[in-house]
Amino acid sequence: MRNPLLSCLLLLLAGTVHADEVQVAVAANFTAPMQKIAAEFLRDTGHKAQLAFGATGKFYAQITNGAPFEVFLSADDETPARLEKEGHAIAGSRYTYAVGRLVLWSAQEGKVDAQSEILKRGAIRRLALANPKTAPYGAAAVETMQKLDVLAQLQPAFVQAENIAQAYQFVGTGNAELGFVALSQVWQDGKLSGGSGWIVPASLHQPIRQDAVLLGRGSGKPAAAALLDYLRGDKARRIIKAYGYDL
């Protein structure tokens, strides 16, 4: 008769044999949802996603210089396409996992009006935004101000952050009175989690299509393939949508 304890042990060992880790470079705006998705991914598959967060432009430089990432979740669609073209990513693996939304946000209640008039009044002392050269949300912020014809008057107030996470930190700590951040950073349960904000209409900037791609180092790795598949699933999509992203 088989020992029940031995049977349980064998089942446990069988599960861990197939468990793997995947090294993931994640755009800073996707920090909170990806942390939740990674926890569910571990629970559902046994695979562990090791996450690094930062600016898309900086990740591009690191990946092309040999950084050991296996999956890249970008803040745009251009960088993964470029990596694919240059042979650093697997052709045909790229797809859009989320469409980002930009918001002008202040930690102060009532500071930002619903029509963005605050941008036109010219009374802003410090306005935070991510570096538009390396961060797609920063580029979208600049494009928005150009469309509103307020870029020249607001430039002296710019507080430029390395990435969207730092831009949010500048505003949240009061080092900038308001700033352009990712909606996902301030959105919870279908509303702003605090402060005041103006959700930038999508018509004021190019769509922030965020693409995922399998990098060369992830080729043939079960955990890397499993994560890319998991991001397309219903559970991950519900989490993504809950943070204010379009799908």
**How many Å separate Cα 191 from the centre of its chain?**
19
pTM: 0.82
Whole-angstrom Cα distance, residue 87 to residue 35? 28
Neighbours of 159 (CB within 10 A): 17
The domain 19-99+208-242: what is its CATH number?
3.40.190.10
Give the position of tokens 């990596």.
Answer: 83
Given a cut of 90, whether residue 167 has pLDDT beyond it is yes
Sequence spans of domains, the chain: 19-99+208-242, 100-204
Q: At what angle do helices 78-85 and 56-64 cross, to 10 degrees?
A: 10
Q: What is the tens place of the pLDDT at every residue in 70-79?
A: 999 999 999 9
Question: What pLDDT band is residue 13 in, cutting at 50, 70 and 90?
Answer: very low
Hey, what amino acid is at 18?
H
Average pLDDT over residues 45-63: 95
Task: Please tell me if the domain spanning 19-99+208-242 has the same topology as the one spanning 100-204.
Answer: yes
The domain 100-204: what is its CATH number?
3.40.190.10
Hey, what amino acid is at 227?
L
Whole-angstrom Cα distance, residue 109 to residue 140? 24
Question: What pLDDT score does 81 carry?
Answer: 98
Question: What pLDDT band is residue 174 in, cutting at 50, 70 and 90?
Answer: very high
Task: For 105, list phi and psi in degrees, rounded to 5.
Answer: -135, 145
Question: What pLDDT score does 109 carry?
Answer: 93
CA distances to 122, 151, 193, 242 from 171, rounded to whole Å, are 18, 19, 14, 22
Percent over 90 (pLDDT), the chain: 81
**How many Å separate Cα 157 from the centre of its chain?**
26
Given a cut of 80, whether residue 11 has pLDDT beyond it is no
Whole-angstrom Cα distance, residue 182 to residue 210? 12
Half-sphere exposure of 225 (CA within 13 A, CB side): 7
Whole-angstrom Cα distance, residue 138 to residue 221? 33
Whole-angstrom Cα distance, residue 212 to residue 203? 24
Average pLDDT over residues 8-18: 47
Instruction: Flag the least confident range among 58-72, 76-90, 115-129, 150-164.
Output: 115-129
Given a cut of 80, whether residue 44 has pLDDT beyond it is yes
